[in-house]
């Protein structure tokens, strides 16, 4: 190896190869960007309500207990398909009512049960959050998760 692969050759392979893979990666992510906007998430419009819901989701750091499309913390249930689980994916009003009812009942205070905090959320924000979760649920995630349990 030492004759054929000198230090400067190894260095050139490293630089040249890295540039090649960066170019391929950038091209694929550009294509993926279009795929996400035009196809995977196009089933439901990205309204201001959905965007508001995303901000509510972020402001309360939901991701540090829950997963969303499998990413986040593993302390609380997956929420990428929660609206399907609740049978509310196609009914915005029902989605809002179940979500609101659930969140108003937290924390449960039951001994030995994981506790979800109580969040101060206005009705407008709660409706946004419900729409955001419906919007996330309609994303084409290549049929993940395997079942409604999330």
Partner 1 sequence: MKYQSQKVAYAYFLVAMGLFAIQVAGGLLAGWIYVSPNTLSELLPFNVIRMIHTNALIVWLLLGFFGAAYYLVPEESEREIFSVKLAYIQLAILVVGTLGAVGSYLVGIHGGREFLEQPLWVKFGILVAAVIFLVNVSLTFLAGRKTAITNILMMGLWLLCLLWVFAFINPDNLSLDKMYWWFVVHLWVEATWELVMAAILGFLMLKLTGVDREVIEKWLYIIVATALFSGILGTGHHFYWIGTPGYWQWVGSIFSTFEVVPFFAMMSFAFLMVWKGRKNHPNKAALLWSLGSSTVAFFGAGVWGFLHTLHGVNYYTHGTQITAAHGHLSFYGAYVALNLAMFSYAMPLLRGRAPYNQVLNMASFWLMTGGMAFMTFTLTFAGTIQTHMQRIVGDYYMDVQDQLGLFYLMRFGSGVAVVLGAVLFIYSMLVVRREVVKPGPVVKDAKLAGE
- Cα–Cα distance measured from residue 135 to residue 83, given in angstroms and rounded to the nearest whole number: 9
68 vs 103, beta carbon nearer partner 1: 68
Shortest approach of partner 1 to residue 100 CB, angstroms? 20
96 vs 135, beta carbon nearer partner 1: 135
- Cα–Cα distance measured from residue 63 to residue 57, given in angstroms and rounded to the nearest whole number: 8
Region for residue 83 given its phi and psi (left: phi exceeds 0; alpha: psi -120 to 50; beta: otherwise): alpha
What six digits make up the tokens of 67? 């997963």
Shortest approach of partner 1 to residue 40 CB, angstroms? 4
28 vs 105, beta carbon nearer partner 1: 28
Shortest approach of partner 1 to residue 98 CB, angstroms? 15
Q: What are phi and psi of 112, to 5 degrees?
A: 80, 10
């Amino acid at each position: 190896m030492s004759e054929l692969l000198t230090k400067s050759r190894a260095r050139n392979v490293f630089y040249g190869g890295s540039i090649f893979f960066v170019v391929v990666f950038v091209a694929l992510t550009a294509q993926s960007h279009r795929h996400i906007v035009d196809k995977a998430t196009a089933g439901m419009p990205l309204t201001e309500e959905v965007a508001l819901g995303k901000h509510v989701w972020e402001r309360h750091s939901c991701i540090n207990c829950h997963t969303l499309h499998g990413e986040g913390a593993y302390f609380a249930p997956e929420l990428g398909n929660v609206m399907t689980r609740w049978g509310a994916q196609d009914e915005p009003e029902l989605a809002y009512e179940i979500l609101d009812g659930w969140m108003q009942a937290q924390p449960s205070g039951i001994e030995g049960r994981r506790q979800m905090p109580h969040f101060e959320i206005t009705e407008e924000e709660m409706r946004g959050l419900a729409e955001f979760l419906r919007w996330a649920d309609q994303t084409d995630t290549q049929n993940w998760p395997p079942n409604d349990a999330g």
